């Protein structure tokens, strides 16, 4: 039986339910997040509800009239309760009611409210009634979902006008009110903290920025400092907290700490490290204690001595790292020297990947150490490492300070490296060159703050140190800041480095955001940039002691001796062009030096570069005039005006290989020079556009000038001769062909035509799909490309599908009779399309055993399969049960790394579901049961505005279709989906 409901009545009914529901939701979300009152990201989930309330209007909700006039039903004589009389402010006698019930959460009486929803403040009218009025602000109408918005404000009664007058904003959602800027901000910044108070409902009553104590640089409350201003250090009084008071520094100090490596020994809070009988057993703990000891002095030098003859380590899962009671995050007043006790080299198993950074601070020296980062390859994103199993026997090696879990060995004949060890040491995703924004930070950082006490640029000295087996993506091993820094590397080697990052880098932090902003930057990310910049020096603090004006460089780099070998040897280089945007500081090849703002001399001498697949000495971006290169290896570079553009020189005046974006031009005397390829595309504002990276030049005899010919290569795309421009995809009927030069760089990338009958192709003769009237024949089920053959004739056939314990579909099965059935519906459908492909028209009947009665199909594929209607699709006598399709690691505790364990065998069971779904007949609710991974960790809700996944059944169509009429889909009544 169906009932017809007038649309206006239906909407009105929905509205009466929706309004209180939204109010209830707002309170529920507040209560759930009340524990986060100190954080800057609190109450984010409420923002959509608030904006729904502020911006949405339902039909027929302007007035809430309880009783209409008998004489004129357009006039109201009595308003609904509560708090919906308009008062004299509006002066609307025709419709004296307003829906204050939509804005008032707690009413004092029929005409007065004591608590409004977010976005409204209380106003006391001329007769003493409290009404809810909307807080006005430019931010209230912001469309930026990351912006903070006002949620409470003060109103006063303007006697002269008889109207309400808005006062100060008192609370903000997802932020704090800044009295200095008179607006809501997401973070109060340095020197201030955000204070939040709550009302009786647990909702935000006020959120405002207050000043920290004088000596605090950052604080959590007025008297609880997080970091201190110049000349002070932070004392917490306990290693169980990270806030405290700021105390004045005084004096100088130099001391020695010792680090030993003994089986079963762990660092405790009682260890001082000040003598050989009381050493630390962790390098990290020694460094933490060094900064704690040095924090109270104006200048301190701490020597950390490693006991020789032993293997030391820096573990990722070391639960015994101590915490300090004194901090100095900003002064850079402590110099750290890490060496061995007798000057012999020791190995440090560095297992921390990108989770640790050595700070240069007041100075850093590293001597006589081999950093072996073999176990830093372990990451759940790239290997089968399962962090939930860290305490199992198979994972004990991760906490072993004397041995690596994995081994990396080199085949001397081929020069290739391979990994061995437990299964989780094998790469599931091979290292490649597709990491244009390298993951992770730096291993060594020139840190600086606007509260620094440094009087001159920092010094980093590295001597007799080797970095080996760094096979993970990082930005750089050594990161310099924009203000200055001196690096000396003596007899320092780098072996088997595989990253898109560099060994030494400095990048202009202040330039990146301006290029990102139009496309990528949200308000939240911009705020993060601003907060970071507010902690950095705003001026060149060393300008009076170094720089061009002083003729003394603030930067210098001296690399003497050592080996750079096997750089990039484990990278799986792409066969397709990879695009990078240099404006965003991107690189797609690792570099030895990547210098963007290095204003000082670079000296490289007696360094042996050997057996490297990808090394780029990008030192030509240095801004001083003095550059020396003394390299006894095979690489010989010449100083010339072309040095910035020429990668391989033939002579001092001639080049044989240019950088990307430049092509070779032969001048009138036969010298080859690099000239920039001109195109409209390099000036494009589209960050995803392709750009030309190589072109031809010829000599114009009439003018004696260079004349650009055709573009020959594009980055992240191909040159299209038809459009005379770079494009990202050649499209149907064509394929992109790429060639590489001796350096493995793109030499040409161009669009070529496919064979006539190909609709799409991988190469000229290898089709991936065919034009109308043809089908693709690959000749093997091991490949997906082949030749296109003309279709002919018609066919109708029957395929059978059975379900038998232990039976699997093999390549030999035809499915054409009951004695040779398929054991998989997917396989039968694939074979049906294969059988039908060679005919102009085909009908394939797939019969599930038993025949003619309704059968249940356990559909466990979630959104990973689609039935195509194609030339027609009929489904009959089937119950599709999708119970096990609930299993997804995003929403349940399903762990795909355990698929072969006994607990997960039900996932491959063709006869039974892992999970059960049952219905409570009294309440009508459904519940799930079964193994633990059947329980939802994230409950299904209505917040799926762009549904995940595709469709189960798809009306597919192509411009190569042979259909003469629209497709038909027939599903008989007995087919169920549940």
Q: What is the DSSP-derived secondary structure letter of residue 84?
A: -
Per-residue burial over 276-296, b if 16 or more Cβ lie within 10 Å, else e, is eeebbbbbbbbbbbbbbbbbb
pLDDT of residue 624: 27
pLDDT of residue 105: 84
Phi, psi of 512 (to 5 degrees): -65, -45
**Is residue 752 within 8 Å of 734, Cβ to Cβ?**
yes
The DSSP code sequence of 98-122 is: --GGGTEEEEEETTEEEEEPTTEEE
| Spatial distance between the Cα atoms of 97 and 60, rounded to a whole number of angstroms | 13
| Domain boundaries, given as residue ranges, for the chain | 7-209, 345-572+580-627, 643-753, 754-790
Provide the 10 A C-beta neighbour count for residue 795: 13
Token pair 């491959």 is found at: 908
**Is residue 207 within 8 Å of 551, Cβ to Cβ?**
no
Give the mean pLDDT per block of 10 residues along the chain (978 residues).
33 36 35 31 34 31 58 65 42 54 80 88 87 79 62 89 88 92 89 93 92 95 95 94 95 97 90 95 95 96 97 84 90 96 96 93 97 92 83 86 94 88 86 62 91 93 96 87 92 91 71 46 57 76 79 88 89 61 54 77 87 58 29 30 71 84 86 84 52 88 85 89 89 91 83 95 94 94 93 94 88 92 94 94 92 82 90 92 88 81 86 92 90 84 63 92 91 60
Among 363, 331, 530, residue whose Cα is nearest residue 449: 331
- In the chain, what's the furthest Cα-to-Cα distance? 106
pTM, rounded to two decimals: 0.57
| Spatial distance between the Cα atoms of 116 and 106, rounded to a whole number of angstroms | 7
Provide the 10 A C-beta neighbour count for residue 627: 15
Token pair 């993951």 is found at: 439
**Is residue 438 within 8 Å of 503, Cβ to Cβ?**
no
| Spatial distance between the Cα atoms of 891 and 895, rounded to a whole number of angstroms | 11
Q: Is 792 exposed, middle or buried (0-12, 13-18, 19+ CB in 10 A)?
A: exposed
The DSSP code sequence of 875-891 is: E-SEEEE-GGGG--TTT
Enumerate the H helices of 682-758 as residue ranges: none
| Spatial distance between the Cα atoms of 860 and 178, rounded to a whole number of angstroms | 53
Among 595, 600, 608, 626, residue whose Cα is nearest residue 560: 608
Half-sphere exposure of 275 (CA within 13 A, CB side): 1
Enumerate the H helices of 633-698 as residue ranges: none
CA 573, distance to chain mean position in Å, is 22
Helix (H, G, I), strand (E, B) or coil at 251: coil
Among 958, 957, 966, 576, residue whose Cα is nearest residue 759: 958
Q: What is the DSSP-derived secondary structure letter of residue 754?
A: P
User: Could you tell me whether strands 104-109 and 112-116 are parallel, antiparallel, or unpaired per DSSP bridges?
Assistant: antiparallel
Summarize pLDDT for 105-148 with one digit per residue, the tens.
888 877 888 899 899 999 888 888 888 898 887 755 555 545 67
Q: Cβ neighbours of residue 637 under 8 Å, at least 6 residues apart? A: 617, 629, 631, 643, 649
Token pair 């918005």 is found at: 149
CA 305, distance to chain mean position in Å, is 38
If phi over 0 gives left and psi between -120 and 50 gives alpha, with beta otherwise, what is residue 288? Answer: alpha
| Spatial distance between the Cα atoms of 558 and 435, rounded to a whole number of angstroms | 29
Q: Cβ neighbours of residue 549 under 8 Å, at least 6 residues apart? A: 543
Among 169, 187, 189, residue whose Cα is nearest residue 179: 169
Task: Give the full edge-to-edge strand order of the sheet including 591-595.
Answer: 358-359, 442-445, 476-479, 502-506, 591-595, 617-618
pLDDT of residue 902: 83
| Spatial distance between the Cα atoms of 149 and 55, rounded to a whole number of angstroms | 13
Long-range pairs of 11-16 with CB within 8 A, sequence gap ≥ 24:
11/58, 11/59, 11/60, 12/59, 12/60, 14/58, 15/58, 15/59, 15/60, 15/61
Angle at 560 between CA 559 and CA 566, to 5 degrees: 80
Q: How far apart are the first and last CA of the chain?
A: 23
pLDDT of residue 588: 53
177 - beta bridge partners? Answer: 184, 208
Give whole-number Cα distances, 545 to 439, 518, 556, in Å: 36, 39, 15
**Is residue 164 within 8 Å of 158, Cβ to Cβ?**
yes
Among 307, 298, 303, residue whose Cα is nearest residue 287: 303
If phi over 0 gives left and psi between -120 and 50 gives alpha, with beta otherwise, what is residue 532? Answer: alpha
- Tokens encoding 653: 């005046």
């Amino acid at each position: 039986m169906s009932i017809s409901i007038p649309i206006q009545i239906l909407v009105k009914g929905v509205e009466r339910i929706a309004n209180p529901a939204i109010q209830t939701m707002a309170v529920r979300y507040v209560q759930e997040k009340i524990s986060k009152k100190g954080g800057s990201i609190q109450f984010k989930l409420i923002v959509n509800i608030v904006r729904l309330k502020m911006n949405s209007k339902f039909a027929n909700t302007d007035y809430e009239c309880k009783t209409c006039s008998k004489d004129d039903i357009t006039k109201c004589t009595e308003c609904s309760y509560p708090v919906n009389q308009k008062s004299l402010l509006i002066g609307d006698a025709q419709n004296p009611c307003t829906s204050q019930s939509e804005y008032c959460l707690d009413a004092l009486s029929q005409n007065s409210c004591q608590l409004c929803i977010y976005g409204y403040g209380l106003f006391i009218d001329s007769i003493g009634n409290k009404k809810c009025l909307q807080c006005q602000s430019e931010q209230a109408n912001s469309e930026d979902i990351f912006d903070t918005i006002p949620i409470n404000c003060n109103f006063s009664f303007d006697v002269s006008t008889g109207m309400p007058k808005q006062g100060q904003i008192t609370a903000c959602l997802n932020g704090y009110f800044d009295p200095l800027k008179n607006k809501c901000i997401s973070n109060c910044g340095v020197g201030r903290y955000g204070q939040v108070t709550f009302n009786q409902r647990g909702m935000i009553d006020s959120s405002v920025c207050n000043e920290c104590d004088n000596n605090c640089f950052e604080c959590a409350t007025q008297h609880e400092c997080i970091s201190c201003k110049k000349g002070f250090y932070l004392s917490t009084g306990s290693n169980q907290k990270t806030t405290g008071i700021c105390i004045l520094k005084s004096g100088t100090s130099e001391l020695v700490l010792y680090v030993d490596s003994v089986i079963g020994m762990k660092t405790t809070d009682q260890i001082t490290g000040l003598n050989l009988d009381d050493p630390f057993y962790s390098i990290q703990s020694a460094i933490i204690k060094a900064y704690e000891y040095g924090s109270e002095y104006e200048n301190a030098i701490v020597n950390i001595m490693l006991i020789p003859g032993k293997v030391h380590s820096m573990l990722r899962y070391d639960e015994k790292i101590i915490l300090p009671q004194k901090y100095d995050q900003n002064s850079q007043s402590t110099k750290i020297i890490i060496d061995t006790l007798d000057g012999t080299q020791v190995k440090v198993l560095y297992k921390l990947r990108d989770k640790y950074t050595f700070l240069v601070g007041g100075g850093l020296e590293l001597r006589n150490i081999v950093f072996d980062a073999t176990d830093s390859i372990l990451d759940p994103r790239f290997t089968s490492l399962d962090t939930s199993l860290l305490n199992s026997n198979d994972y004990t090696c991760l906490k072993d300070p004397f041995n690596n879990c994995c081994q990396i060995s080199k085949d001397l004949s081929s020069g290739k490296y391979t990994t061995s060890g437990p299964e989780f040491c094998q790469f599931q995703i091979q290292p490649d060159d597709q990491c244009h924004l390298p993951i992770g930070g730096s291993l060594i950082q020139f840190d600086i703050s606007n509260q620094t006490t440094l009087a001159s640029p920092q010094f980093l000295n590295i001597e007799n140190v080797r970095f080996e087996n760094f096979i993970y993506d990082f930005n750089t091993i050594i990161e310099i800041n924009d203000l200055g820094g001196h690096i000396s590397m003596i007899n320092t080697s780098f072996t088997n480095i595989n990253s898109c990052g560099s060994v030494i880098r400095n990048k202009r932090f202040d330039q990146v955001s301006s290029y990102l902003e139009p496309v990528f930057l949200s308000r939240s990310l911009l705020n993060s940039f601003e907060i970071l910049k507010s902690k950095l020096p705003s001026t060149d603090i060393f300008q009076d002691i170094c720089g061009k004006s002083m003729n003394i460089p603030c930067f210098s780099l001296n690399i003497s001796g050592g080996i750079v070998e096997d750089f990039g040897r484990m990278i799986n280089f792409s066969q397709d062009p990879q695009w990078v945007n240099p404006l965003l500081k991107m690189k797609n090849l690792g570099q030895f030096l990547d210098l963007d703002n290095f204003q000082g001399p670079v000296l490289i001498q007696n360094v042996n570069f050997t057996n490297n697949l990808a090394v780029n000495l990008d030192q030509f971006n240095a801004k001083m005039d003095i550059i020396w290169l003394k390299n006894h290896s095979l690489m010989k570079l010449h100083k010339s005006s072309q040095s910035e553009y020429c990668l391989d020189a033939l002579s001092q005046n001639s080049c044989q290989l240019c950088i990307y974006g430049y092509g070779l031009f032969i001048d009138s005397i036969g010298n080859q020079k690099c000239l920039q390829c001109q195109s409209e595309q390099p000036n494009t504002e589209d960050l995803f556009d392709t750009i030309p990276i190589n072109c031809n030049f010829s000599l114009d005899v009439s003018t004696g000038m260079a004349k650009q010919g055709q573009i020959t290569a594009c980055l992240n795309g191909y040159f299209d001769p038809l459009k005379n421009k770079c494009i990202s995809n050649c499209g149907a009927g064509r394929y992109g062909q790429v060639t590489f030069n001796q350096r493995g760089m793109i030499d040409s990338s161009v669009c070529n035509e496919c064979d006539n009958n190909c609709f799409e192709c991988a190469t000229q003769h290898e089709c991936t799909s065919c034009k109308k009237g043809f089908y693709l024949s690959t000749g093997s089920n091991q490949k997906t490309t082949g030749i296109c053959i003309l279709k002919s004739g018609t066919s109708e056939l029957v395929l059978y599908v059975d379900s038998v314990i232990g039976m699997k579909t093999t390549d030999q099965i035809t499915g054409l009779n009951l004695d040779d059935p398929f054991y998989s519906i997917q396989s039968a459908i694939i074979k049906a399309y294969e059988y039908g492909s060679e005919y102009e028209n085909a009908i394939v009947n797939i019969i599930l055993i038993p025949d003619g009665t309704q059968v249940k199909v356990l559909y466990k594929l979630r959104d990973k399969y689609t039935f195509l209607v194609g030339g027609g699709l009929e489904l009959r006598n089937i119950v599709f049960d999708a119970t096990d399709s609930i299993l997804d690691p995003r929403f349940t505790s399903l762990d795909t790394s355990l698929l072969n364990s006994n607990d997960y065998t039900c996932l491959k069971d063709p006869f039974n579901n892992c999970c059960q779904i049952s219905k409570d007949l009294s309440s009508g609710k459904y519940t799930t049961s079964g193994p633990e991974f059947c329980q939802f960790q994230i409950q299904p809700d209505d917040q799926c505005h762009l549904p995940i996944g595709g469709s189960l059944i798809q009306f597919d169509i192509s411009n190569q279709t042979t259909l003469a009429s629209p497709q038909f889909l027939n599903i008989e009544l007995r087919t169920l989906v549940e």
